[in-house]
Amino acid sequence: MTKLYLLIVLLALIKTTDAQIDSTRMPEIPLMRKKFHEDVDKLQREILKLDGKDDGQFTPSNNEELNMQATYAVITKTDRLQLAIELDSALDGNDKIKYLRGLNDVLYAFVAENKGRRIKLITFTDVLNAYEEAMRLERLQQPITPVIEANSLETGNILVRSFAFQQNAGLASSKDLLVVKECQKYPNKILPILSKYPDLPYADSLIALAARRSQEELYNFAAATTKLGVRIRKSEDPLVKIIAHMARLKTGRQYFPFLDDLYRGKRSFAAIDSVMNDSVQYYKLLVQTQIAYADRLLKRDTPLVMNTLTARLQQKAKDVFINEINGLHELPDAVRFKKIELLTPQELYYLAVLGEEEIYTSSYTHGVYPMIFKKMKVARGDSLLISVRFDHFKKWIKMAANYNTLDHFLKTMEKENAEILMKAFVRGLDKTNNLEDAVDVANSYASITDKDLQQLIMSQVQHNLAEVKKNRNFRGERIYSILNTLFLSMDSANHIDVAGTLGIPPVYFMPNKSLRDTSGRIVVQQFFYGDKDGKTVFNSFVGRFSNSNWKITSNNQWIAVSSTRGVPVTIYANKPLDEEKGLDAEAQSALNKYLAEKELNPSVVIHRGHSYYLNSTIAQLAPSAKVILLGSCGGYQSLNTVLGICPYAQIISSKQTGSGLINAPMITALMETAREGKDLNWPGLWGNLSKILGKNEMFADYVPPHKNLGAVFIMAYNKMEEAE
């Protein structure tokens, strides 16, 4: 109460002139100015309601003192400003109209800007004070620029639009200053802002600033035939000049990845020209530059357009090499991999780590990986990573684990170095702005069979967990606690209930009832493709379900396989029509349309086909899917993408070769279990399948849902975020 009393006393003592004005009654207002006063009064009432309460108070914050000051500004201070204008004998009638109209403009703009969420309510006092100070300068015939400079961008924008200052000598410079303020507030939008003000006096300095922040964007603006494009091309700033020069060239984009070296004089346009038309040599130059930039990153020196360089390197790796070795997958290895024999171990390394999503399993296991060590004088994995400055090394380890080459890779170096490397693999997972590294660690752990290596990783995870807890790093604690739970659960002796501990749907089983739709039916969608192998596995599928438990109906584009007894199960499968004519894609599209029209939502989705068809299946994946079988080679690599569509799906996939000899009996077992009304108990199902398929070495590469640690990690992390 004492605090409130003191505040009231202080407010009452604000400026003796205010007190004198307050004691003076408003004189009779001429009719020509009365409307302006009424408009101001109306806006005062509207501003008081902007806080969502019609109580005669203005409470834009949770701070009692600030709210009282704000209420004072809206009511008393605004009233006194109106009165001061009317009582000022130095102002003639037109001047009084000017300032009253200007005040009305300011209040009206404040309301509009707040409703548009461009200015906060708490700033009203600043806006009114700024108007009062600007009015004082205007009366002295001085520029209002100092007021604009001293206040926020939002306040300044309101003032320069006020009628009171439209003839002010500093209006133009004030508007220029506001453009600078806007660029300072939104540094990533400098060029779009300048495109509206290309003649701004400060444009050259701002363009130079943009060149240090947004080189790609500057390149695009420099290539345009706009006024800003012309101004960019006239710049004398060294970096801007290089980018503008590139933008004028037809092949400018080819030089762009080397911008930092060109700017620092480490490379010339002529040197790049010498390899421009040789795709292999251009790729080699990209790799050389990538390694040099990675070395600088280790020294905390970030090169310009590093991401652009990596993206171009990735594209060239795919276009020049990966597509070719993938496309020749049916030819002998000597023919298939002839082109990559031209590459060094480092250049092969980047094919792997940047081609993860495109490279076929066999392209990696039969070509790129073994060729790296074949080409090294001393085949040491640690030497390889040192030579590329550990660039993307976590991706390399993840891929090695997924393709079952990690044990070999680690054995190419001394045990001590292998341990240091794996500790680094697990460190800093909370430092990135995504979960990719953490998911890679989870997936890799599931692939490691060496008990000592498992224990090393587990110990490092627990050490990191203790550190992030001590530092109250909540994101880090979330990541490492999930990994710790998952890794402990891999040993049945620990008796870890993963689903219960992490608060996620069951991991070890899928309830039969969860697969059924509202009518009680389980809907399954199976994707086939129209190559030779696709037709063979389709015929095999039809043969397996040609028995009394199932009924097959067919049309020109798909078949429906429905259970005749037990739980209603229907498997919809497109026919593997001619892929060269695109008929298989048309059949899939027609089936998708049919399912949508009939409101049939697949709870089980099965991909049948080579890995190069997998992206097509994923693009058509029903979000309703709860169990997904990726029956192609290397389907394990696509877990993140699949979980982006179906966050809680249980996924079966292969780390290496997908085989019809594995897929067919597995699908039969899944469908019969579903038809019999039994839950899909993954450990039990997998145990039974291993008795049937265990002699086929490819079965060991298949990963069941309860061992898909990366998928479980993502589920658990998302669940924790939802709970907060």
> With bands split at pLDDT 50, 70 and 90, how would you rate the model's confidence at 425?
very high
pLDDT at 347 over 60: yes
Span between the terminal Cα atoms of the chain, in Å: 38
Architecture of the domain made up of 509-708: 3-Layer(aba) Sandwich (3.40)
pLDDT at 221 over 50: yes
Average pLDDT over residues 322-331: 90
Question: So where are the chain's domains?
Answer: 2-185, 509-708
pLDDT for res 637: 64
Average pLDDT over residues 403-423: 91
> With bands split at pLDDT 50, 70 and 90, how would you rate the model's confidence at 700?
confident
> With bands split at pLDDT 50, 70 and 90, how would you rate the model's confidence at 7?
very low
Tell me which of 51-65, 641-655, 690-704 is least confident: 690-704
pLDDT for res 657: 61
Question: What percentage of residues in the chain have a pLDDT greater than 70?
Answer: 95
Average pLDDT for the chain: 91
d(CA 353, CA 30): 80
Closest CA to 704 of 660, 639, 646, 640: 639
> How many other CB atoms are there within 10 angstroms of residue 363's CB atom?
28
> Which string of DSSP letters, residue by residue, matches 448-477?
---HHHHHHHHHHHHHHHHHHHHTT-HHHH
pLDDT for res 471: 93
Pairing of strands 604-607, 627-630: parallel
> How many other CB atoms are there within 10 angstroms of residue 700's CB atom?
14
Task: Determine contact, residues 544/668, Cβ cutoff 8 Å.
Answer: yes
What does the block give as tokens for 512?
Answer: 């039969």
pLDDT for res 8: 44
Tell me which of 68-77, 196-205, 403-412, 658-667 is least confident: 658-667
> With bands split at pLDDT 50, 70 and 90, how would you rate the model's confidence at 361?
confident
d(CA 460, CA 59): 52
pLDDT tens digits, residue range 512-549? 999 999 999 999 999 999 988 889 999 999 999 999 99
> With bands split at pLDDT 50, 70 and 90, how would you rate the model's confidence at 4?
very low
Instruction: Calculate the alpha carbon distances from 35 to 40, 104, 126, 163 in Å.
Output: 9, 11, 26, 16
d(CA 612, CA 627): 21
Angle between helices 203-213 and 171-185 (to 10 degrees): 0
What does the block give as tokens for 466?
Answer: 């203790």
pLDDT for res 643: 81
Instruction: Calculate the alpha carbon distances from 404 to 11, 218, 655 in Å.
Output: 76, 45, 8
Tell me which of 16-30, 205-219, 504-518, 707-721 is least confident: 16-30
> With bands split at pLDDT 50, 70 and 90, how would you rate the model's confidence at 636?
low
pLDDT at 196 over 80: yes
pLDDT tens digits, residue range 87-120? 999 999 999 999 999 999 999 999 999 999 999 9
pLDDT for res 699: 79
Closest CA to 541 of 676, 668, 652: 668
Average pLDDT over residues 298-327: 94
- Where does residue 531 fall: left (phi above 0), alpha (psi -120 to 50 degrees), or beta otherwise? beta
CA dihedral 332, 336, 339, 341 (to 10 degrees): -50
> Which string of DSSP letters, residue by residue, matches 368-393?
IHHHHHHH-SS--HHHHHHHTTTTTH
Average pLDDT over residues 316-330: 92
- How far is C-alpha 179 from the geometric centre of its chain's CA atoms? 30
Tell me which of 253-267, 335-349, 469-483, 612-626 is least confident: 612-626
pLDDT at 698 over 90: no
pLDDT tens digits, residue range 542-567? 999 999 999 999 999 999 999 999 99
pLDDT for res 633: 54
Question: What percentage of residues in the chain have a pLDDT greater than 90?
Answer: 74
pLDDT for res 632: 67
pTM for the structure as a whole: 0.74
pLDDT for res 12: 45
pLDDT at 146 over 90: yes
What does the block give as tokens for 614?
Answer: 């997998």
pLDDT for res 655: 66
Which residue did the predictor score with more confidence, 697 or 47? 47
> With bands split at pLDDT 50, 70 and 90, how would you rate the model's confidence at 24?
low
DSSP 703: E
Which residue did the predictor score with more confidence, 609 or 704? 704
